[in-house]
Every structure is written in structure tokens, then in C-alpha cells.
Structure 1
Amino acid sequence: MSLVLVLVFLAALIAGAPIAVALGLASGVAIIAFDLPIHVLAQRAVNALDSTPLLAVPLFILAASLLNAIGVTTHIFDLVRLVVGRIRGAVAQVSILVSLIFSGVSGAALADIGALGKIQIDQMTGQGYRKSFAAGITIAAATIGPIFPPSIPIIIYASVTNVSAVQLLVAGIVPALIITFFLMAQVAVMARLYDLPRDTVSPSLRAVAKKAVISFPALLAPVLLIGGLLSGYFGPTEVAGVTVAYALAIGFGIYRTLTWRAVWESLRETVEATSGILFIVSTAAVFAWVLTLDQVPARAGAFLLGLSDNPFVLLLLVNILLLIVGMFLESIAAILIIAPIVAPALHAAGVDPLQLGIVFVLNLMIGLLTPPVGMSLYMVSIVAKMPVHSVIRGVLPFFIPLILSLLVVSAVPAVSTWLPKLITQ
């Protein structure tokens, strides 16, 4: 049964079917071919969406869209440029830091690229950076978004594996800071090797203070979100709703750049993005049910535990698997299909569920940088109006800090588990 399921799924993908259609079609063929109850298709699809944590997904998408419409990204970018100053490679360093700050409201790598990509690339190329380098650092920095809370992939992983969404979101804070550090270190090395340009801004205390006042409401959005999660007063859904309300308040009441037309456009974008994500969630749930019925998770778990009972070795094996899978499968689909198969086995071997969740998502975010299905590559190609092969050439050096970050998160459980455990004591 599983063989038929996988073969139909792969055939549909090769034929060019969208991932959600391929998952649903394969599941339907397997259910009919093996005389399973056909009503399960609708039942499982609907039940998969009956999840409180998933309510946060459209709200985070809406919050990011509203804040982008307000123009907070420009204010944050200008402030960070003034703070960083005229060091060599400054604008590249600013791009990384702004991606970290904006990740506190976006929740997705592609949202970061959509909101920041053109600003980042134009600033760097305007100062003499190679366009391929500018595209590469933009893509690499966008991987921070789905690790730092809020994170749509982490929320979906938590709902699939029955892990606390709040704890898993908090678990991403330290790994995101580690990724930021390694990326900035890579840029610092490349700045010296390739004589990268210095920024043209003239920072002064007065200029920084003035821009800080203007940017303060924008900077308060991620602080509000993270503070709500850390305090325990809000869950992911509540904090997403508060962030949307805050975005509307500062858009209409403080910056006064938000219009009802922009709100309508943000709502439309949210519906489009959410429908695509939830379509994948629903069809993947049926796909996973067929795999479970054929005892694939149990057999996969027994196979993994038969290879080794060392948690680190098992994590390395899963890393290799996910890096390969990330080249071919969209990240949310990969989480929904593979997490229910491998997570029980690794939990049984002693791998902390929070550590596994971060390792899982980070692997798949690196997959966004790898052809042939790396969505970040194609999105930056559109934003920067450059061929995909040039984008790939630009991102290659940044695999070094990303893989180093992945190894640190895999080898040191405390990187992911320390902060969630600290706030629950």
C-alpha cells in the first residue's frame, strides 16, 4: 500500500502537480485501490485543520503583511545602518540583523524575502556589492525567520508531533541567535578577503536617537510578541492576535501610513497564503494516515533504532535525510509527511522533542536554499531580476555558517532546551 502511495505521489510531482494535489491524489488512489473507507479522505482532512495552534498561522501572516504595508522595514533598516556604522561589509551585516529583527513578526523565510529582499539587495548593489553576493546573503539571512519566534513551520511541527507550541517557539530563540552570529562572522571574513565596501552613512548620536524614536513603535512589535510568549500570558494564537491589533494601531494611529485599501490587500494576501498552507496540511494528514495504517512509522522507527541507540548518531542520520528531502519537498509538506515517521523513534532514543523540532525545521530551511525545489532561490531570482544560477552561486559560501549552526544545534541539546526549561521553572 505504501509503495503505491509513494509511486503515485512521485508521479504526480514529476507531472507538475502542486504538492497538495499530489498528496491528496496519492492518498485517494491508495484508499480506493486497497478498499479503504472513502469517507476517510474528508474526515482526516477536516480533522487535521481542527487545531488551535494552526489558528496562529493566518494571524502571523496578516501581522507581517500589515507591518510591511506600514513601512516598518524601512525604518528598522535605516536605524540598524546607523548603529552598525561604516565598518567594511556594513550593509551586509545590517541585512542579517534586520532579518533577525523582522523575523520577530514574520514567521516565514519567504515572507522575510518578500518584505526585505528588494531593500537589502538594492542597498548592497548600490554600494558596489556583487549582485550574486547580495542575493546570497539575503537568502541565507531569511533562514533565521522560521527559527526565531513566531515561526509558521515550528507551529505546524508542534501540531503534528504533539509538542508544546509555546516551548518549541521559545526553543528557537538561541539557535536563531547562533545562526545570526555565524552569518555575521562569515560576512566579516569575506569583507576582509574581498575588500567589501564600507557603508556611506554618517552615523552620529543625534541621528541614531532621532531614527530610534521614529523606529521605536516598529521595534516594539517583536518585543511585544517575544515578551508575551516568555511571560506565559499568551499562547501562539493569542500573541498573534495581539500583534495584528498592534500593527493596526501603529499603522493608523502613529505612522498613519496604513490605508483601508492596504488592509484589504493584506487580508487578501493572508487568505491566499493561508489557503495554500492549510490545503497542504489537510492532504498531508490523509497521506500520513495511509502510511500509519501500513505501519510505516513503526517500521521506520525500528529501522532507525536498529542502526544506533546513540541520540547524536540518530540526529546526524536524520540531518542527512532531511537535507536530501529538503532539495525536493516543500518544507511544510516535508514536516507533515516525515515528522510523524521519525519523531517517535528519536524521542524513544532519548532525543529531546524540543531539540528535534529545531533540528527538523532548520534542516528544511536550509533546503529552501538548495535546487531543484529551493523556493527561496526562485523568489530572490524574481525580486532581484537575475538568473537562478547566479543566485545559487551567490548563496554557496553561506552554506558554511548554516551547516555549522546545524551541527551546534544537533550536538548541544541545551542550545534548544535551556531557555524553554528556564521559563517553565
Structure 2
Amino acid sequence: MLGLFALLLLMLLMAIGLPVAWSFAGVLAYLTIVYDVNLNTLMLQGFRSLNSVVLVALPLFILTGYLMQSGGIARRIVDFVGRIATGRGGMGTAMVLASSIFGAISGTATAAIASIGSIMTDPLVQRGYPRGRIAALLGISSLLGILIPPSITMILFAVVTRQSVAACFAATIGPAALLIVGLILYNRFLVGRAFEERDIDVGEREGFGRVTVKALPALSLPLIILGGIYGGVFTPTEAAAVAAVAALIVGGLIYREYTWRTLGRSVVQAAETTGSIILILLFSFMISRIMAFERVPQDLTEAIQTIASSPISALLIVNLVLIIAGALMDDISVTVVVAPLFLPVMVANGVDPVHFAAIVACSVVIGANSPPVAPTLFLSCKICRAPILAAVAPALGLIFFVALPVMLVTTFWPALSLAIPRAFGLM
């Protein structure tokens, strides 16, 4: 019971605005006092857990995202997608596709929001999209970076649950494809009902061939990264290094948009983000060690098995808890604390850990855009210059009609997430 109270304390500290890393530190302090733990031994175990080659990929993928943002790569992707996404709801489709391509390179939602949102907001407004609806669509579609490999969230899940990074990457491809289709169809359905999409005079535009040629270096990045991983050319950690170098080459030598100032800012931002995540990981490893020693996961499994009348109801309970946790905590916190806590529950109900990785990723898409905290939605509103109240209703519509069905299909149709890892011999 004390362990579960620690989880509620973490949510409370984050809900009142305490920085994430220090929220974890507060919970760690509480647990060390309650359970009278030797902090020196615990700290040593935490640092040993951080001694993982897999974690080298973390700062490199984060750096890749910031380099794409400052190197003109994102803009070329948007230009290309904007030319092929035509017809009803074309601009909304362009935002979803651009976010998916960006996510296939950077693995982060924050960089996608900053890059895609800053480029596409004004064109969408000119075509009649309400700013609140733009922010909602951006918030959901930006999280395709979590579902489409490489994904920083899946790297963290693999580390804390000791699963194959490549298998976790592959497990989210099916749900990502389903989410992309759902977002595009839902947006097309709303055009002419919830709002009107106007045609505007764009003046002289570059030909499709010219736009495609300019975008080819940017579009080649996900092919190189994913092809290299699943073709056995390099590991996910090596892929992170290749991605960072490729982003430097494309942005610096081909597009020539880097300056020493923008390059330095990208490195500093990547270092700050990485430092925060590593600190959270250290505290979370120590918290997980205490909870494992006190048998909190086993007690939680027994409690849910007692409450649930069937495996289906147990899975629904875990899904609900993941969504609530995601609405109060950021994706990293959900992945490194809540997910390992519920993994024994899922395994006891016949869910493969790699399948659970896909379920966690889908829950993050919902939770990160759900009030009261909704960190992704708030950031989208800031980039799109939209009032948060104007974005809540459209976001809830996307959640109930698209994201939640995708999560339920992922949960109860294991083949959606396990077929690709098995096809590549990853599990």
C-alpha cells in the first residue's frame, strides 16, 4: 500500500507543477524514509543500471531531432507532403504525414510540435482551420514520433523492462499505421461539418519535381535509419549515431541552413533534455529497486486479479490506469515507472512484454493530450497560438474517435503489434 501511495505522490507532485526530476527525487526520499533503505547502496545500484550501451542512443536521437528542426529538414518534408496531400482535408492530412515522417527520424514529440507546428499553423489558418483544432491535431499527430521507430520512449521501455530495443521499435509500427489512417479519415470527415477548408491563391509555386528533389535528402533519412536497423546493418544504438551524422550532413552540406549559433543552440538543447531524462531514469531505477524489494508489483498483480473477473477486465483496468497516469504525468514518467509496475499484471494475463510496449505507447498518445495536465496539448497550443479551452473539445474528439479505438485494437489484437517483430525474427 505504501508503494502505491508513492505513485499517487508522484502524480500529485507533478500535477502541482514541480519539475519532473525533482518530483521523482521527492518520491525517492519518501520511500527511503518509509522503508529505511541504505541510500548509498541504492545509489550505487542506480548508477549500475545507467551503465547501458542502449542509453547511448538517447542523446543522439534527441540531438537528431533538434538538428532537423534547425537545419531546414522539417520544412522540406512539409513542402513535399503538402504537394502530395491534396483533396478534401488535404492540409490536415499533410500535417499528419509530415509528423509521421519527422517522427521516423527524430523519435520525439516535442521536436515535431516545434518544427511542424511553426511551419504549418499559418497555412492551415489561411485555409479555414480553427487554431484550437490545429493544436489538437498537432498534439495527437506529433506523438507518432513515439509510435514510429526510432522512438525515445521505446528505448526507455526496453531499458527498464530488459526487452529488445529493435523488437519494441517494431511493435509500434502497426498501431502507428492505424493511427495515421484514423487521423486522416477523421479530419476528412470533419471538413464541411465542423469547419470549411478554403482554397487560397498561393501564387507562384515550385513544380512538384523540384520540391521532390529538394526533399529527397530529408526523406532518405528514415529509409537509412529503419532500413539499417531491420536490415541488420547496424544496431539501434549505432543507428542513432548514423541519424545524427546524417542530419548534420543534410542540414549543413546540402541545405546549408546551419549557423554556428543555431548549431550550438541545438547541442545545448539536446544536452539539457538528455540531462533531465537521465536524472529521471536514475531516480526511477532506484524507486523501482525499492518497489521490487517490497514486492509492490506482485501485490498490485494480486489486487487486480482479485478485482477483475476475467483477463479482459484486467486488461481494461490496466489500460484505464495507464491513461489516467498519462493525463497526470509525462510520457517518460509513465514509461519508466508505471509501465514496469504493471508489466507483471499484463504477463499474468497472457500479454507479451513486447506487446505491452505497444499498449504503453498508445496510452501515452491519449494521456499526453488529456486534461488536466496534457503536456503535449499545452505545448501545441503555445506553438499554434491557440487558447487551451479552444483545443480541449477537438482533442477529446480525436481521442475518443481515433486514439482510444487504436489503443483497444492494439490491446485485444496482439497480431497488430507482434506480427512485424516476429517477421524480422526479433522475438
Query: Normalising by the residue count of structure 2, what TM-score does the alignment of the two structures yield?
Result: 0.93
Aligned to 1:392: 392
Q: Equivalents in 2 of 1:200, 1:229: separation in Å?
A: 42
Q: Is the 8 A contact 1:311 1:351 kept in 2?
A: no
Q: Is the 8 A contact 2:70 2:258 kept in 1?
A: yes
Q: Equivalents in 2 of 1:15, 1:353: separation in Å?
A: 32
Aligned to 2:53: 52
Per-residue CA deviations over 1:93-152 (Å, capped at 9, x if unaligned) read 111111111111121222211111122221100222211111111112112110100111
Q: Equivalents in 2 of 1:11, 1:218: separation in Å?
A: 42
Unpaired segments of 5 or more residues in structure 2?
none
Within-5 A mapping of 1:222-371: 222-307=222-307, 311-371=311-371
Q: Residues 101, 370 of structure 1: CA spacing in aligned structure 2 closer, same or farther, 3 A cutoff?
A: same
Aligned to 2:81: 80
Q: Percent identity?
A: 28
Q: Residues 8, 129 of structure 1: CA spacing in aligned structure 2 closer, same or farther, 3 A cutoff?
A: closer
Aligned to 2:21: 20
Query: Which amino acid in 1 is paired with 2:222?
Result: P
Q: Secondary structure at the match of 2:146?
A: coil
Structure 1 position 135 matched with structure 2 position 127: no
Q: Is the 8 A contact 1:48 1:281 kept in 2?
A: no
Q: Equivalents in 1 of 2:81, 2:405: separation in Å?
A: 26
Q: Equivalents in 1 of 2:203, 2:161: separation in Å?
A: 48
Query: Which amino acid in 1 is paired with 2:156?
Result: I
Task: Measure how far apart 1:160 and its partner are.
Answer: 0.9
Query: Which amino acid in 1 is paired with 2:356?
Result: L
Aligned to 1:125: 125
Q: Secondary structure at the match of 2:270?
A: helix
Q: Is the 8 A contact 1:20 1:284 kept in 2?
A: no
Q: Equivalents in 1 of 2:354, 2:152: separation in Å?
A: 15
Q: Equivalents in 1 of 2:312, 2:95: separation in Å?
A: 33
Q: Equivalents in 2 of 1:4, 1:43: separation in Å?
A: 25
Within-5 A mapping of 1:193-232: 193-194=193-194, 196-200=196-200, 207-232=207-232
Q: Aligned-residue CA RMSD in angstroms? A: 2.3
Q: Residues 327, 231 of structure 1: CA spacing in aligned structure 2 closer, same or farther, 3 A cutoff?
A: same
Q: Secondary structure at the match of 1:226?
A: helix
Q: Residues 353, 28 of structure 1: CA spacing in aligned structure 2 closer, same or farther, 3 A cutoff?
A: same
Query: Which amino acid in 2 is paired with 1:47?
Result: R
Q: Equivalents in 2 of 1:272, 1:206: separation in Å?
A: 38
Aligned to 2:112: 112
Q: Residues 386, 11 of structure 1: CA spacing in aligned structure 2 closer, same or farther, 3 A cutoff?
A: closer
Q: Is the 8 A contact 1:171 1:358 kept in 2?
A: yes
Q: Residues 10, 393 of structure 1: CA spacing in aligned structure 2 closer, same or farther, 3 A cutoff?
A: closer
Which range moved further: 211-220 or 23-32? Answer: 23-32
Q: Equivalents in 1 of 2:141, 2:17: separation in Å?
A: 30
Q: Is the 8 A contact 2:31 2:287 kept in 1?
A: no
Q: Equivalents in 2 of 1:60, 1:30: separation in Å?
A: 33
Q: Secondary structure at the match of 1:39?
A: helix
Aligned residues: 424
Aligned to 1:380: 380
Q: Residues 347, 80 of structure 1: CA spacing in aligned structure 2 closer, same or farther, 3 A cutoff?
A: same
Query: Which amino acid in 1 is paired with 2:65?
Result: A
Aligned to 2:99: 99
Q: Is the 8 A contact 2:127 2:197 kept in 1?
A: yes
Q: Is the 8 A contact 1:327 1:367 kept in 2?
A: yes
Per-residue CA deviations over 1:329-387 (Å, capped at 9, x if unaligned) read 22211222222221123223321222111101210221110112111122122212232
Aligned to 1:64: 65
Q: Residues 84, 19 of structure 1: CA spacing in aligned structure 2 closer, same or farther, 3 A cutoff?
A: closer
Query: Normalising by the residue count of structure 1, what TM-score does the alignment of the two structures yield?
Result: 0.93
Q: Secondary structure at the match of 1:145?
A: helix
Task: Measure how far apart 1:193 and its partner are.
Answer: 2.1
Q: Secondary structure at the match of 2:373?
A: coil
Q: Equivalents in 2 of 1:407, 1:259: separation in Å?
A: 46
